[in-house]
Structure 1
Amino acid sequence: MKKTDLEKNLGLKINGKLKQGASATRFGAASGEVPDRREQRKLDAARGLIPFAVKLEGDLVTQLRTQAETQQRDINELVAELLRRGLAG
């Protein structure tokens, strides 16, 4: 390999590491406060939570997000409560 190729590869490695390091604090939390995805999955599993993906219309999602923001709640909690109400009724 040429010296320029080695320098280019080194630069790509540095850029990759910079991109990975920035993701932990991009949501405004300190790096130690936000668990990574694997840890979050373990925490969710311990609480008995199971990921459940559905496809919804855009206007329905907008309504859910607005309602969650006005009530200052997590959207997961809001959807769970609405599903419980709907299934009970």
Structure 2
Amino acid sequence: MKKTDLAKSDAKKLMGQMGPKGGNFGAASAAAPDRRAQRERERALGLVPFAVKLDSELAGRLQQLAREGDGDMNQLVADLLRQGLAAK
């Protein structure tokens, strides 16, 4: 192994990018969520992805409120939006 290849290998080990974590490859890949199926379930529920950019202070407050509640950020934001829109 060349010196540069060894350095690359060491860097990958440090970054945790060498192979799957915690066992053999087949078990790790089977545990990964099926994103397509998840999108279909969400679409059936009428959920639509909605991305916004927030400043870090506001995002932090939302995360804190989600932790204090049931921990579901999606539901928290939906509830807050409903309350805000109802007040208009």
Q: Same fold (TM over 0.5)?
A: yes
Report sequence identity in percent.
Answer: 47
Calculate the TM-score normalised by the size of structure 2: 0.63
Calculate the TM-score normalised by the size of structure 1: 0.63
Any unmatched runs of 5+ in structure 1? 1-15
- Structure 1 match to 2:61: 63
User: Displaced runs of 4+ in structure 1, greater than 2 A?
Assistant: 18-22
What CA distance in whole angstroms lies between the structure 1 residues aligned with 2:33 and 2:41? 9
What CA distance in whole angstroms lies between the structure 1 residues aligned with 2:67 and 2:85? 24
- Structure 2 match to 1:75: 73
Q: Deviation per CA, 1:59-83, whole angstroms, max 9, x where unpaired?
A: 1011001100011230000000000
What CA distance in whole angstroms lies between the structure 1 residues aligned with 2:70 and 2:84? 21
Q: Deviation per CA, 1:21-66, whole angstroms, max 9, x where unpaired?
A: 59x68xxxx92xx632111111100100000000000110110011
